[in-house]
Amino acid sequence: MQKGIHPDYHPVVFQDSTTGFKFVSGSTATSEETVEWEDGNTYPLIRVEITSDSHPFYTGKQKFTKADGAVDRFNKKYGLK
Protein backbone atom coordinates (compact mmCIF):
# COMPACT_ATOMS: atom_id res chain seq x y z
CA MET A 1 0.00 0.00 0.00
CA GLN A 2 1.14 3.51 -0.68
CA LYS A 3 2.09 5.49 2.39
CA GLY A 4 0.21 8.64 3.31
CA ILE A 5 -3.00 8.07 1.32
CA HIS A 6 -4.90 5.66 3.58
CA PRO A 7 -6.91 6.72 6.65
CA ASP A 8 -5.92 5.53 10.12
CA TYR A 9 -7.51 2.13 10.88
CA HIS A 10 -7.97 1.53 14.62
CA PRO A 11 -10.27 -0.23 17.14
CA VAL A 12 -13.53 1.60 17.88
CA VAL A 13 -16.49 0.82 20.17
CA PHE A 14 -19.86 0.94 18.42
CA GLN A 15 -22.96 1.41 20.60
CA ASP A 16 -26.55 0.76 19.53
CA SER A 17 -28.50 3.86 20.57
CA THR A 18 -31.77 1.94 21.06
CA THR A 19 -30.59 -1.11 23.03
CA GLY A 20 -27.26 0.02 24.48
CA PHE A 21 -25.45 -3.01 22.97
CA LYS A 22 -21.71 -2.33 22.50
CA PHE A 23 -19.01 -4.09 20.50
CA VAL A 24 -15.43 -3.40 19.42
CA SER A 25 -14.51 -3.42 15.76
CA GLY A 26 -11.85 -1.91 13.54
CA SER A 27 -12.81 1.28 11.71
CA THR A 28 -11.52 4.47 10.18
CA ALA A 29 -14.29 6.46 11.91
CA THR A 30 -13.29 8.77 14.74
CA SER A 31 -15.13 10.44 17.58
CA GLU A 32 -14.43 12.91 20.37
CA GLU A 33 -16.39 10.66 22.74
CA THR A 34 -14.45 7.84 24.37
CA VAL A 35 -15.36 4.85 26.51
CA GLU A 36 -13.33 2.46 28.64
CA TRP A 37 -13.81 -1.10 27.40
CA GLU A 38 -13.75 -4.35 29.41
CA ASP A 39 -10.06 -4.90 28.63
CA GLY A 40 -9.13 -1.63 30.39
CA ASN A 41 -8.30 0.29 27.21
CA THR A 42 -10.01 3.50 26.14
CA TYR A 43 -11.52 3.57 22.63
CA PRO A 44 -13.46 6.15 20.60
CA LEU A 45 -17.25 5.64 20.91
CA ILE A 46 -19.42 5.71 17.77
CA ARG A 47 -23.19 5.71 18.35
CA VAL A 48 -25.25 3.98 15.65
CA GLU A 49 -29.00 3.59 15.21
CA ILE A 50 -29.14 -0.08 14.16
CA THR A 51 -26.90 -3.05 14.93
CA SER A 52 -27.38 -6.81 14.86
CA ASP A 53 -28.91 -6.47 18.34
CA SER A 54 -31.82 -4.31 17.15
CA HIS A 55 -32.22 -5.07 13.44
CA PRO A 56 -35.48 -6.98 12.72
CA PHE A 57 -33.74 -9.53 10.47
CA TYR A 58 -31.35 -10.63 13.24
CA THR A 59 -33.83 -10.42 16.14
CA GLY A 60 -36.50 -12.53 14.40
CA LYS A 61 -39.13 -9.80 14.67
CA GLN A 62 -39.24 -9.12 10.94
CA LYS A 63 -42.69 -8.67 9.46
CA PHE A 64 -43.44 -10.20 6.10
CA THR A 65 -45.89 -8.25 3.96
CA LYS A 66 -46.40 -10.91 1.31
CA ALA A 67 -46.53 -14.35 2.87
CA ASP A 68 -48.32 -15.96 -0.10
CA GLY A 69 -46.82 -16.56 -3.50
CA ALA A 70 -48.32 -15.41 -6.78
CA VAL A 71 -50.06 -18.77 -7.39
CA ASP A 72 -51.67 -18.77 -3.93
CA ARG A 73 -52.94 -15.21 -4.39
CA PHE A 74 -54.41 -16.15 -7.79
CA ASN A 75 -56.14 -19.18 -6.31
CA LYS A 76 -57.58 -17.12 -3.45
CA LYS A 77 -58.79 -14.40 -5.79
CA TYR A 78 -60.56 -16.74 -8.21
CA GLY A 79 -61.70 -19.35 -5.66
CA LEU A 80 -59.68 -22.27 -7.01
CA LYS A 81 -58.56 -24.96 -4.61
pLDDT exceeding 70 applies to what percent of the chain? 80
User: What distance in Å separates the CA atoms of residue 20 and residue 14, rounded to the nearest whole number?
Assistant: 10
Return the domain boundaries, the chain: 10-76
Listed in sequence order, the residues at least 6 apart from 35 whose beta carbon sits closer than 8 Å to its beta carbon are 13, 15, 22, 42, 43, 45
pLDDT tens profile 22-49:
999 999 999 999 999 999 999 999 999 8
pLDDT at 81 (0 to 100): 58
DSSP tag of 41: -
pLDDT at 18 (0 to 100): 85
- β-bridge mates for residue 22, sequence order: 15
Determine how β-strand 42-48 pairs with β-strand 22-27.
unpaired
